[in-house]
Amino acid sequence: MIAGRYALLAELGRGGMGVVWRAQDRVIGRQVAIKELHIADGVPPEERRVLEERVLREARTAGKLNDPGVVTVFDVVSDGGVPWVVMELVEAPTLATLISARGPMPQEQVVSIAQQSLSALEAAHQAGIVHRDVKPGNLMIRADGRVKLTDFGIAQAHDDPRLTTSGSLIGSPAYMSPERLHGHDASAASDLWALGATLCYAVEGWSPFERSSTASTLHAIMNETPRLTRAQGVLGAVITGLLIGDPNARLSAPQARAMLNSIGNQPTPPQGLPPAATAHLQQGPAVDPAKKKRNRILALVAAVVIAAGAFTGGIFAHRAFSTPPAAKTALTYGETGDIPVFELYGEGQCADGQLVAGKQITNESKTDTCTESHDIEVFDEVPTFDESSSSKPDVSYPGKEPLTTLGVARCQLTFDSALVVDKADLQITVLVPTQAAWEEKNPQRKIFCVTSHKNGDKLAKSVLAKKDS
């Protein structure tokens, strides 16, 4: 009996931080999970104090959260000088257990897991809390398809100065973001990177960076590119966007959620469950048609990031800090834009004249070929939505910010690839359409990736690698 109230019934699991028990709350009568801090013999007193404080912080952290995707903390008690955290009992396997037993999950189920996990993380991040250890072993999947994010024991609240980690890395190596390996603090963006790796594990059936040793795992995170073979469409775009190495270019939680919402928002129960286990699921709330259409357009805008990487049949995730990013400027083109007229409609088009506010790049500015002296070259063009919808007059303008986010990410991806050569002295300008250009009679809706010399010098040849005929 713990604290005269909780009767331990059976051990549920154990790990480096403690033992989790099934227990009976003798006051209320419900069953709960109760976590006991487990400290090995011989641990120095100071380290023991830090570990005990970490458990108490778990309770403080999780106690702030109110989201159906987060395991609820009911109580914290001390018994025999040991802290115990009393939590909601979730009788469900972890994502790691399910994948180990059944193999990769279908895309629609992973979409549901992604949506619910994002909701839980957004609730945590809005409360100033970083989880720091998002991984398949910390996502529990109930029989009805509901997801529970657990183990905030190493989470860090931004406003909790009582516990430091002395510069040590806390978390599971295979799900640790590149910037954390570079010594930066954990952040909401690093949680999202870990979620991207977790979703990759769910849909592909393997951890994208886990290797036979910690050293090789960290090397993979910093230098290797996971290739998605099962994830397609928007889900593939979300995973790719979450695994962008630069946290400033990585998808945010609202962006990822908007993309996923375009393909459904219902929890999908695990395969093989009897009909009775899913009969009580309710339909999701009604979605305003105009909002749904806008979300779909934004999802398609973001999903095109995939295309930047499909150079060799797999998904090219932006390599973490593989090369320093080229200096980027984002300008608008079209009526009321920074560049009122821009007539280089396509990859490999070159022209004289620098891209500065107020400058017009017309047909007369073009050079006959890019082998002549020129100032600028379009090295990539980005379609902003489903090409089959391009002629529809009711396609709303997504806004400058999402177009710029997409353009910067896509242009950097292409620039970093083998498609662009001799890039050391080059810089990038991203051109996105204005609302006027988007809505004119013959709409201009593409994003253009333009390069020029950093010093303003002329370019003597094309920046694009020669293609086989």
Residue holding tokens 């860090």? Answer: 156
CB atoms within 10 A of CB 379: 24
| Residue type for position 283 | Q
452 phi and psi angles, rounded to 5 deg: -155, 175
Burial group, residue 24, by CB count within 10 angstroms (0-12, 13-18, 19+) = middle
Q: Are 398 and 298 in contact (CB under 8 A)?
A: yes
Residue with tokens 């090409």, as numbered in its chain: 387
pLDDT for residue 1: 94
Amino acid occupying residue 395: V
Task: Verify whether residue 416 is a known catalytic residue.
Answer: no
State the SS3 of the chain. Answer: CECCCEEEEEEEEECCCEEEEEEEECCCCCEEEEEEECCCCCCCHHHHHHHHHHHHHHHHHHHCCCCCCECCEEEEEEECCEEEEEECCCCCCEHHHHHHHHCCCCHHHHHHHHHHHHHHHHHHHHCCEECCCCCHHHEEECCCCCEEECCCCCCEECCCCCCCCCCCCCCCHHHCCHHHHCCCCCCHHHHHHHHHHHHHHHHHCCCCCCCCCHHHHHHHHHHCCCCCCCCCHHHHHHHHHHCCCCCCCCCCHHHHHHHHHCCCCCCCCCCCCCHHHCCCCCCCCCCCHHHHHHHHHHHHHHHCHHHHHCCCCCCCCCCCCCCCCCCEEEEEECCCCCECCECCCCCCCEECCCCCCCCCECHHHECCCCCCCECEEEEEEECCCCHHHCCCCCCCCCCHHHHHHHHHHHHHHHHHCCCECCCCCEEEEEEEECHHHHHCCCCCCCEEEEEEECCCCCECCCCECCCCC
CA dist 205 → 103, 231, 405, 424 (Å) = 6, 11, 30, 38
Task: Report residues of the chain scoring pLDDT below 50.
Answer: 162, 165-168, 264-288, 290-324, 386-393, 468-469
Query: Could you write out the three-class secondary structure of 417-454?
Result: CCCECCCCCEEEEEEEECHHHHHCCCCCCCEEEEEEEC
Q: From the candidates 75, 79, 133, 394, give the one annotated as an active-site residue.
A: 133
Q: Are 136 and 99 in contact (CB under 8 A)?
A: yes
Task: Check whether 466 is labelled as a binding-site residue.
Answer: no
Rounded CA separation 352/343 (Å):
12
8 Å CB contact between 195 and 241: no
Closest CA to 74 of 28, 117, 9, 38: 28
Are 247 and 204 within 8 A, CB to CB?
A: no
Q: Which residue has the tokens 């007539």?
A: 343
Q: Closest Cα to residue 429, out of 308, 330, 326? A: 330
Q: Give the rounded percent of residues in the chain with a pLDDT score beyond 70.
A: 77
Task: Kindly list the structural domains of the chain, giving each domain's residue range(s) and its CATH number in brackets, ordered by start.
Answer: 6-87 (3.30.200.20), 95-161+170-274+288-309 (1.10.510.10), 328-453 (no CATH)
pLDDT at 114: 96
- pLDDT value at position 245? 87
